[in-house]
Amino acid sequence: MIPRKRPLLALLFAQAFLLALFILSVPASAAHHAESKSHEKDIVDVALASGDFDTLVAALQAADLVDTLKSDGPFTVFAPTDAAFAKLPAGTIESLLKPENKERLIAILTYHVVPGQVTAAEVVKVDSAATVNGQPVAIKADGDTVRVNQATVVVADIAASNGVIHVIDEVILPPNS
């Protein structure tokens, strides 16, 4: 579930809640400074620092998409966690990481990226979004729950220097993949 107005407090995925508590306990000027630092890391660096997106980062490397997601953007990334990748059928990840499956991997990964920065407040106002893949994802907001295709957004609005990350609990697959 994502609140409609979640503050941008997370510096790292794995420490998002602990960090939020820390920021709330320091003076306002220090909180502003901490929030500014979150914008110093790009999407890839935020994912690397979290420790919860090792599979996603490995896939980005295999697909030669790291430089793209380190560029200026802005991008909105619906980022599946390692646990989300683990839900795929056995052998799927290993197969996708093989060089002969690079085009399919690129199609899947770019289906998780929307050009521009779309915050949670904006996501709940739309019913679909065009992905970098060229195919739209369905977006459905129901109360505080937002779904992207079949995946649920579990953490929203993680700021990066070149966009925003929304953590999802499943890998979303483009049609015909």
CATH of the domain at 73: 2.30.180.10
User: Total domain count for the chain?
Assistant: 1
Res. 165 pLDDT band, cuts 50 70 90: very high
Considering the domain boundaries, does residue 33 fall inside one?
Answer: yes
pLDDT at 13 over 50: no
pLDDT, position 3:
40
Considering the domain boundaries, does residue 5 fall inside one?
Answer: no
Which residue type, as a one-letter code, is found at position 170? E
Res. 150 pLDDT band, cuts 50 70 90: very high
Considering the domain boundaries, does residue 20 fall inside one?
Answer: yes
Considering the domain boundaries, does residue 68 fall inside one?
Answer: yes
Distance CA 61, CA 55 (A): 10
Considering the domain boundaries, does residue 45 fall inside one?
Answer: yes
Q: Is the dihedral of CA 112, 118, 123, 126 positive or negative?
A: negative
Distance of CA 83 to the CA centre of its chain: 14
Per-residue pLDDT reduced to its tens digit, 63-122: 999 999 999 989 999 999 999 999 999 999 999 999 999 999 999 999 999 999 999 999
pLDDT, position 39:
56
- pTM exceeds 0.95 for this model: no
Considering the domain boundaries, does residue 22 fall inside one?
Answer: yes
pLDDT, position 27:
29
Q: How many CB atoms lie within 10 A of CB 88?
A: 16
Q: How many CB atoms lie within 10 A of CB 54?
A: 14
pLDDT at 16 over 60: no
Considering the domain boundaries, does residue 34 fall inside one?
Answer: yes
Res. 143 pLDDT band, cuts 50 70 90: confident
Q: Which domain holds residue 48?
A: 16-168
For 118, the token pair is 């779309």
Distance of CA 168 to the CA centre of its chain: 7
Across the range 147-166, mean pLDDT stands at 95
